[in-house]
Structure 1
Amino acid sequence: MARERCKVCCNAVSACICKWISPIDNKTTIVILQHSDEVKKPLGTAKIVTLSLQNAVLKIGVDFSDDVDFNQLVYGTSEGVGILYPSESAITFEDWVAKERCPQGVNNADQLPKTLIVLDGTWRNTREIINVNPVLKNLQGIQLTPAQQSNYRIRKAPFKNSLSTVEAVAQALNALEPETSVGTMLNCFQNMIDYQIRCMGEEVYRKNYLSD
């Protein structure tokens, strides 16, 4: 018999994260392009982002060329639109903010980047999204230097400095709009991980995630 699932977060009712969700009024629009393979993973963190942030959109798939909103975003004016991806031409969030505030040498202290596209999936997944949607390569790439090691203790990452989607978005918003508190979003992430470790047991956790 299939387990009953929460209609909001889609997790099993016993693992529902909704009780830890608090709304966050962010200014920068976060658009998450989630690879179809990631939807099947119950411990993905994109759902924490979209449930927490009042200004966030989740799109699922690989080829977004038929998505009207996506096309308007990437083929319309790309001013203030960036993609969180470590391309060769990627710049830091600090440089992106400075660039948007001083377009063509005009200083505007109130002007901030408007939209950040975030790819959700494995490195292989995200490369596939980029290759299938080459228009994404035309957007301003933003690189993120992790402020600290990821707390995603129940997933093994291919790189030491890898961050979960929720951690990456939280760090991005800290840079783009430091006045916006994202603590509750990270607390939800922490609580989800702690709950899963309790369910599997400390011995299983240490054997599978702490062993060399």
Structure 2
Amino acid sequence: MEPENPTDHLSTTAEPEPEPARRPICANCSRPSPVCLCQSLPARPIPTRTQIVIVHHPHEAHHKLSTVPVLTKCLLNSTTIVTRRLRNGPNGPSPLLDQSLPAIYLFPPAPSSPAVTLSQLLSSLDPQHTPQVLIVFDGTWKHAKEMVSASEGFLSRFATRVCLDYDESASGGSIYDSELILRKEPCGGCVSTMEAVARALRVLEPNGPEIESKLIEVLREMVKLQARYLKPMKPRPKLLKKGKEKKELTDKSETSDLTTLY
């Protein structure tokens, strides 16, 4: 009788483990069922005179806490462009950016790129020349700065850089100024893309306060639902390299507007 081959017992193929069941996704709001927003979304997307163009960084497009998908569910005249840079060319980024419509892009001022507040801009314009296109950049603050810097050569031909109205003595009016911090922000008063658009439309649209109120209502519900599944976070402290503390204090007055504006 031949000795038993020890490998005989190893020749059978193990059955593959079943894949974990995926969370059910709502077909309407495209969010997982436990954080479905359908009850808070407007029955129909809100029409606006202003066309909203959201420049969405490719990395942010896959982030589960992005407010852009929710924002586009709320606003009828909104378009999302996934790119790192807006540029001219035969296949332009969007027909809305054809340089024939009065446009503005929303981003805080910088020493090399000043910005006017929305109220200042509108007070200087004829009512017939009210901006028809609002461009916003969605990404981390680092990515957003890079996107704006790379796109300004194209945007400067037809769009004006604007910022939200603010009080320099205040820290901002973000709904994230609470214990429900879902994403760590670089500085106090930072607002999400959805909140920034809501505050801008308040100024741009004839029924702006109503639009802003509805968008903020949806955003608050999103924060409330998501906070049930996340541990509370504390704002990220700003880390300084040795020898730069003094420079940071000197530059603080120049960059303080970034803490209160989108």
TM-score interval for Structure 1 and Structure 2 normalised by the shorter chain: 0.7 to 0.9
Tell me if structure 1 keeps the 8 A contact 2:184–2:236. Answer: no
How many positions carry a matched residue from both structures?
A: 199
What secondary structure, in the 3-state scheme, does the structure 2 residue paired with 1:154 have?
A: coil
Relative to 1, partners in 2 of residues 1:210 and 1:128: Cα closer, same or farther, differing over 3 Å? closer
Q: 2:191: which partner in 1?
A: 163
TM-score by length of 1: 0.81
Distance in 2 separating the partners of 1:75 and 1:210 = 40
Per-residue Cα deviation, 1:144-175 (whole angstroms, up to 9, x for no partner)? 14574311331221121211111101110111
After TM superposition, which residue ranges in structure 1, 4 or more long, deviate above 6 angstroms?
A: none
**Structure 1: any 5+ residue segments left out of the alignment?**
102-108
State the one-letter code of the partner of 2:182: I
Q: Does 1:151 align with 2:206?
A: no
RMSD: 2.5
- Tell me how far apart the structure 1 counterparts of residues 138 and 235 of structure 2 sit (CA, whole Å): 25
**Structure 2 residue 194 is the aligned partner of structure 1 residue 172:** no
SS in 2 for 1:199: coil
**Aligned residue number for residue 41 of structure 2:** 21
Instruction: List per-residue Cα deviations over 1:161-194 (Å, max 9, x = no partner).
Output: 2111111011101111252312221111101111
CA distance in 2, matches of 1:67, 1:19: 42
| 1-structure distance, mates of 2:28, 2:74 | 12
Q: Is the partner of 1:19 in helix, strand or coil?
A: coil
Q: In the alignment, what sits opposite 2:30?
A: 10
Cα-to-partner distance string for 1:57-81 (whole Å, 9 max, x where unaligned): 111121444684536444532x520
Evaluate the alpha carbon distance shift between residue 137 and residue 126 of structure 1 in structure 2; reply closer, same or farther with a 3 A threshold.
farther
Q: Which runs of 5+ in 2 are unaligned?
A: 1-19, 238-262
Structure 2 residue 208 is the aligned partner of structure 1 residue 184: no
C-alpha spacing 1:67/1:195, structure 2 compared with 1 (3 Å): farther
TM-score w.r.t. structure 2 length?
0.67
Q: CA offset at residue 84 of structure 1?
A: 0.3
Q: CA deviation at 1:211?
A: 9.6
Structure 1 residues 1-212: aligned runs within 5 Å: 1=20, 2-22=22-42, 23-65=45-87, 68=91, 70=93, 72-77=95-100, 79-87=101-109, 88-101=113-126, 109-133=127-151, 134-138=153-157, 139-146=159-166, 148-152=172-176, 153-180=181-208, 181-182=210-211, 183-200=213-230, 204-205=231-232, 208-209=233-234
Q: By percentage of residues, which structure has more helix?
A: 1
Q: Please tell me whether Structure 1 or Structure 2 has the larger radius of gyration of its CA atoms.
A: 2
- Please give the secondary structure, in 1, of the residue aligned with 2:79: strand
The amino acid that maps onto 1:194 is K
Q: 1:189 to 1:56 in 2, by over 3 A?
A: same
**Whole-angstrom distance in 2 between the partners of 1:69 and 1:151:** 35
SS in 2 for 1:44: coil
**Aligned mates of 1:60, 1:144 — CA distance in 2:** 24
**Greater alpha carbon shift after TM alignment, 167-176 vs 144-153:** 144-153
Q: Which residue of 1 aligns with 2:5?
A: none
Letter in 2 for 1:151: I
Residues in 2 aligned to 1:145 and 1:177: alpha-carbon distance in whole angstroms? 15
